[in-house]
Amino acid sequence: MRLLLAFLFFSAVGYAQSPVINKWKTIDDQTGKEKSVVEIFEKDGKVYGKIIRLFLDINEEQDPICLACDKEDDRHKMKIMGMEIIRDLKKSDNEYAEGTILDPENGNVYRCKIWVENNQLKVRGYLGPFYRTQTWLPVK
């Protein structure tokens, strides 16, 4: 009985401490500048991510909305701050996949998978057979 309880405890602790569940800083591919902080969290057995901070220049709209989002998407004309951009990722081995990621700048939604490698979050978006991988940094 003690062995079973110990196994259940350590299994629950291991799941609760998934390395993707964290706050991550996104970096612009073109400029190398910080763009946002995304909080990755678990809800109903799946993994989601929402923008909790934006790094904006003084001349940019300080509370932007997603005008580029598809009109059929529930995020259309919603504030980007607080927006859920990663949805429905399921655990598969050492990664989370089968969900989607939204790019609020252009409104495109991509198939997505994420995993941690060298204490950095790898975020891969797919469009058909093509993909692009970004590296997000942990927030300290």
Q: Looking at the domain assignment, is residue 99 inside a domain?
A: yes
Lowest pLDDT segment from 16-25, 57-66, 96-105: 16-25
Q: Looking at the domain assignment, is residue 38 inside a domain?
A: yes
Q: Looking at the domain assignment, is residue 41 inside a domain?
A: yes
Q: Pull the structure tokens for residue 58.
A: 């003084």
pLDDT tens-digit readout, 68-120? 999 999 999 999 999 999 999 999 989 999 999 999 999 999 999 999 999 99
Total tally of structural domains belonging to the chain? 1
Q: Looking at the domain assignment, is residue 100 inside a domain?
A: yes
pLDDT for 17: 58
Amino acid at 125: G
CATH code (residue 62): 2.40.128.520
d(CA 97, CA 86): 11
Instruction: State the residue range of the domain holding 28.
Output: 19-138
Q: Looking at the domain assignment, is residue 13 inside a domain?
A: no
Q: Looking at the domain assignment, is residue 65 inside a domain?
A: yes
